[in-house]
Amino acid sequence: MRRLGLTAVLAFVLAVFGLAPSASAADPAPVTLTFATDSATTTPGGTVNLSMTITNNKTYDIWFVHQTIDPTWLTTQRPDLKYGFTGCSLATAAGTTPCSGTGPANLGGNYGATIPPGQSRTVTLSLKIATDSGCNGNIGFYSYYYAEFSDSSNTSGGPVYTPVTRVLCA
């Protein structure tokens, strides 16, 4: 009789753990931040557009976003690479509008007003490579973000890395 009891307990434990949800069934992150560039290469004097898209995966509005963008360590090791952000635009249903600021300052305000559940906002920064920039180096950035939702919750993430842009010389 004892063996039957032990077997029943073992079978119960295996059944409970066997039916537990797997990690792949986990909820998505509350916010997703992705990057894209319109070109993988450029030359001195060229411009590359870096698009940042933030997606609200929660069932509450995003009310506030704070985001930074900084050069990667490898980018900072090439002092001959000269570049700067020269423009910023927010994609809207009515077209593009200028951002409230550019560069590594608070980029979050550039995403515009409230971001409803399931929707995204895309901001595009123009990265201008100086005409006297060095060549054969990669320029890349990373970002951290913080978002607050209308249910008073918040989330943060990063680093999220941009694609690198290779500066080529003809």
C-alpha pair distances (Å), 86 with each of 45, 80, 102: 12, 19, 7
- Is residue 8 a part of any domain in this protein? no
pTM of the full structure: 0.78
Give a yes or no: residue 133 inside a domain. Answer: yes
Summarised one tens digit per residue, pLDDT across range 135-149 is 999 999 999 999 999
Q: Report the CATH number at residue 81.
A: 2.60.40.10
DSSP 14: H
For 141-160, give one letter per residue: b (16+ CB within 10 A) or e: bbbebbbbbeeeeeeebeeb
Give the model confidence (pLDDT) of 74-103 as tens digits. 999 999 999 998 888 888 778 888 887 555
Domain annotation covers residue 2: no
7 lies in some domain: no
Residue 166 counted as domain residue = no
User: Could you tell me the residue range of the domain that residue 133 belongs to?
Assistant: 24-156
Does an H or E element contain 5, and which?
helix 2-18
